[in-house]
């Protein structure tokens, strides 16, 4: 079997397919290196004293875990000096992070959720990193929040890592989705799946059922119908999964189909997940794998962002199921 490392894959994309410029290749290499470092740190767990709370809150008022802070630092340090970025933005930082003046600047903007699913860190369940790449607007040298406020359709690349039984990197440049598995002995990501396609037929849904009493009518209707199973209108039994790490839930959906929902509801009228570094990159990947992503009403990637840390309702996964939920909202 031909063994293709991430490095080789990226060089071939650049050289043979001419689908990515060299700066973008460097950017992805650097992000993947940071993900390796985060993976190693996550794996050490209590041995490296990285579990538990950092004792601080982030901009969204959520308690930061030590690993949220460490992962953010790893990504910032890895990406500062390569000359491929104009600025970075993160779930863990209120304002964009400028590239220090002693380093050259590039033409891309990088956004990330350094550690997704952080409630799972201390209980040894999969967590991950999500990232999105945009182009810096022409003529902008010190990108502020406004430079980042571009719709998801403008993404030039997106990906996520899952730190689970294996460490995986899922990647798109807008020309399909590829998956790489970390070979720890070699220290490199190896291509293990190309042209990922989300199965159309699905009988699995993911939603936090504890929010049921807050849901809007269309979500209630959809869930009532799938829960009714073979004796209900859907005429088949559905199964439920909720890992509470979107990276892990979405990787399952890429592999065997399904629908994931964190909709707006009476408790969180703006939604739970963040548009710029959670919903948009995941929507890009899922659409590239033949799935769909909406807010329940509109296509996620077409939303014009108004704030860096804005939240959004999210319905994502197998196309037909997402379309059904969206139809229930529109009806």
Q: Give contact residues for Mn ion (rule: CB under 5 A).
A: 91, 113, 115-116
| Residue 278 C-beta: closest distance to ligand AHG, Å | 7
Q: Which does 279 bind (CB under 5 to 8 A by kind): Mn ion, ligand AHG, none?
A: none
Q: What pairing do the DSSP bridges indicate for beta strands 188-193 and 127-135?
A: unpaired
SS3 61: coil
Contact between residue 176 and residue 196 where contact means Cβ atoms under 8 Å apart: yes
Question: Of residues 118, 188, 288, 295, which one binds ligand AHG by CB under 6 A?
Answer: 118
Q: Tokens representing 61?
A: 């008022």
Interaction of residue 208 with ligand AHG, rule CB under 6 A: yes
Which CB sits closer to Mn ion, 115 or 300? Answer: 115
Contact between residue 198 and residue 253 where contact means Cβ atoms under 8 Å apart: yes
Interaction of residue 95 with ligand AHG, rule CB under 6 A: no
| Residue 91 C-beta: closest distance to ligand AHG, Å | 6
Give, as one character, the DSSP assignment of residue 212: G
Q: Residue 272 and residue 316: Cα distance in Å, rounded? A: 14
Can you name the residues that pair with 59 across neighbouring β-strands?
A: none
**E strands of 221-321, at which residues?**
239-240, 259-262, 273-274, 292-294, 311-312, 314-317
Q: Other C-beta atoms within 10 Å of 176: how many?
A: 14
Which CB sits closer to ligand AHG, 91 or 204? Answer: 91
| Residue 196 C-beta: closest distance to ligand AHG, Å | 20
Interaction of residue 246 with ligand AHG, rule CB under 6 A: yes
* Helix (H) / strand (E) containing 205: strand 204-207
| Residue 328 C-beta: closest distance to ligand AHG, Å | 21
Interaction of residue 244 with ligand AHG, rule CB under 6 A: yes
Q: Other C-beta atoms within 10 Å of 104: how many?
A: 11
Interaction of residue 58 with ligand AHG, rule CB under 6 A: no
Q: Which does 89 bind (CB under 5 to 8 A by kind): ligand AHG, Mn ion, none?
A: none
Interaction of residue 113 with ligand AHG, rule CB under 6 A: yes
Interaction of residue 186 with ligand AHG, rule CB under 6 A: no
End-to-end CA distance of the chain: 51
Interaction of residue 4 with ligand AHG, rule CB under 6 A: no
Interaction of residue 71 with ligand AHG, rule CB under 6 A: no
| Residue 117 C-beta: closest distance to ligand AHG, Å | 4
Interaction of residue 92 with ligand AHG, rule CB under 6 A: no
Question: Of residues 29, 92, 116, 265, which one binds ligand AHG by CB under 6 A?
Answer: 116
Q: Residue 181 and residue 153: Cα distance in Å, rounded? A: 27
Interaction of residue 195 with ligand AHG, rule CB under 6 A: no
Interaction of residue 161 with ligand AHG, rule CB under 6 A: no
Q: Tokens representing 294?
A: 């909406």
């Amino acid at each position: 079997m031909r063994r293709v490392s991430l490095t080789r894959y990226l060089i071939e994309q650049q050289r043979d397919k001419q689908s990515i410029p060299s700066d973008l290749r460097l950017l992805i290499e650097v992000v993947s290196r940071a993900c390796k470092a985060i993976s190693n740190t996550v794996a050490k767990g209590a041995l490296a004293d990285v579990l538990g709370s950092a004792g601080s809150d982030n901009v969204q008022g959520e308690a930061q875990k030590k690993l949220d802070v460490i992962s953010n630092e790893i990504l910032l340090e890895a990406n500062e000096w390569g000359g491929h970025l104009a600025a970075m933005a993160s779930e863990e930082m209120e304002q964009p992070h400028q590239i220090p003046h002693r380093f050259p600047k590039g033409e891309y903007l990088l956004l990330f959720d350094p550690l997704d699913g952080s409630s799972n860190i201390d209980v040894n369940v999969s967590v991950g990193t999500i990232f999105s790449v945009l182009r810096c607007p022409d003529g902008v040298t010190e990108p502020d929040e406004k430079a980042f406020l571009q719709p998801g359709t403008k993404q030039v690349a997106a990906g996520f890592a899952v730190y689970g039984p294996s460490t995986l990197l899922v990647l798109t440049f807008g020309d399909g989705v590829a998956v790489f598995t970390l070979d720890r002995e070699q220290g490199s990501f190896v291509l293990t799946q190309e042209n990922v396609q989300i199965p159309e037929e699905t009988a699995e849904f993911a939603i936090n059922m504890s929010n049921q009493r807050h849901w809007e009518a269309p979500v209630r209707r959809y869930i009532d119908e799938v829960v009714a199973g073979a004796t209900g209108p859907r005429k088949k039994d559905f199964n439920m999964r909720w890992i509470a790490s979107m990276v892990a839930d979405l990787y399952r959906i890429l592999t065997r189909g399904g629908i994931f929902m964190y909709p707006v509801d009476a408790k969180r009228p703006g939604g739970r997940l963040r548009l710029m570094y959670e919903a948009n990159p995941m929507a890009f990947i899922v659409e590239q794998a033949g799935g769909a992503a909406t807010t329940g009403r509109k296509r996620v990637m077409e939303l014009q962002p108004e704030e860096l840390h804005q939240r959004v309702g999210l319905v994502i996964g197998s196309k037909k199921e997402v379309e059904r939920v969206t139809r229930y909202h529109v009806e």
